[in-house]
Amino acid sequence: MDSVVSFRRSLAQRIAVALAVTVVLAAPLLPGCGAGTSGSTEPSGGTCAGGTGNPEPFLACIHRPLDGCPTRELARPSIRASLDSCSCLVSVQSDWKIDPKRAAFCCYDTIVDSTCFTAPPPSR
């Protein structure tokens, strides 16, 4: 019985290592899904490279600086940095408004595009 448990643990560890290596090697190849892509997927032209093409409204909130909320133009870098690695900032639609739930945040109406995709379930 102990040899079966030992074998299963060893097999599980090998599979975990193989999956981890695969993810690390494949991440840079996926558009917008590699490490360090948050906020870097927006070209100067303002369109998303590798996005789904279906931009959606999104309320983006950033920590409120001591000197007040920045204008939408000045907030763009902070907004891009606050998005996850699968989101691409298309545009900032409005100047700031205070988040009604958390007064320590400045919120902006934005348009974002998703750059990560999930595979559909296999057909049977």
pLDDT tens track for 14-70: 776 666 545 444 444 444 333 333 333 343 334 455 566 688 999 999 988 888 899
- Alpha-carbon distance of 36 to 27, in angstroms, equals 11
10 and 37 co-located in one domain: no
10 and 36 co-located in one domain: no
- The pLDDT-based confidence of 8 (bands split at 50, 70, 90) is confident
pLDDT at position 29: 40
Range of the domain at 13: 1-30
Are 87 and 111 in contact, with CB atoms under 8 Å apart?
A: no
- Alpha-carbon distance of 110 to 39, in angstroms, equals 14
pLDDT at position 2: 82
19 and 57 co-located in one domain: no
Stretch 81-90: mean pLDDT, rounded? Answer: 87
24 and 79 co-located in one domain: no
Domain count along the chain: 2
Convert 33-47 to b/e letters by CB count within 10 Å (16 or more is b). beeebbbebbeeeee
pLDDT at position 47: 45
51 and 14 co-located in one domain: no
Query: Is the model's pLDDT at 12 over the cut of 60?
Result: yes
pLDDT at position 120: 61
Give the pair of three-digit tokens for residue 113: 């595009």
Give the pair of three-digit tokens for residue 110: 């934005």
66 and 109 co-located in one domain: yes
Place of tokens 């019985």: 1
Strand partners, 62: 106
